[in-house]
Amino acid sequence: MMKAYHMTEIISESYSLGVSERIRQLQDMCNMYGDFRVAIANKAPDGEVRWTKHYSVMELWGSDKGLWLLSKANNRTIFPCELVLDIDKDPTPERLDNICQQLEDLKIPYKAYFTGSRGYHIHIIDPGFLSLDAATAEKIKKVWIRTFDCDILKSSTKTMIAIENVEHWKTGIQKKLLRKYP
């Protein structure tokens, strides 16, 4: 089992750019979609992957130390109103285009990102999910994920994904927006 590290053990290895933007982005997300959890993942020099505990954004927001930790977070949980299509199998630009086109045909608004690692994430925010019970929402998420043959694990709101516009913990490459609709 992976060991959970304390924030301070990892911070020193973390990134230094865009501190206030990062915090504001997470605070905005929290304001718009409700509280969620964040974590810091890092690779030690010996190659060991280290994960912190999952912290609630609302909790971190309340203290200076918390804000400082928020600025270092590079992973977050999926929002209850969010559907993430993680193209992990055969992550080619053509496949991304194909899925995006299908979504556009269905008039489903989305934001497609390059994760900074190897795949693509398509984030679809739909407040309609909030009016459903958790099981049904997950069922609908699963059916869409299956339709596009993406990673089924991303149907759970407990799964961590890379935060938008932040460097990926594996590669240090930023998660960038590639395409959006409308």
Please report, as ranges, the residues that interact with other proteins according to CB under 8 A: 83, 106-108, 124, 126, 128-129, 132, 139-141, 143-144, 146-147
Ramachandran quadrant class, 126 (left: phi over 0; alpha: psi -120 to 50; beta: rest): beta
Q: Minimum distance between the CB of residue 105 and other proteins, rounded to whole angstroms?
A: 10
- How many whole angstroms separate alpha carbon 156 and alpha carbon 134? 9
Q: Minimum distance between the CB of residue 123 and other proteins, rounded to whole angstroms?
A: 12
**β partners of residue 112:** 122, 179
The nearer residue to other proteins, 38 or 122, going by C-beta atoms, is 122
Specify whether the CB–CB gap between 163 and 74 falls below 8 A.
Answer: yes
Q: Minimum distance between the CB of residue 5 and other proteins, rounded to whole angstroms?
A: 37
Report the length, in residues, of the chain.
182
Task: Identify which of 60, 4, 8, 68 has the alpha carbon closest to the alpha carbon of residue 29.
Answer: 60
| First CA to last CA distance, the chain | 42
The nearer residue to other proteins, 41 or 137, going by C-beta atoms, is 137
The nearer residue to other proteins, 13 or 138, going by C-beta atoms, is 138
The nearer residue to other proteins, 132 or 160, going by C-beta atoms, is 132
Q: Minimum distance between the CB of residue 182 and other proteins, rounded to whole angstroms?
A: 13
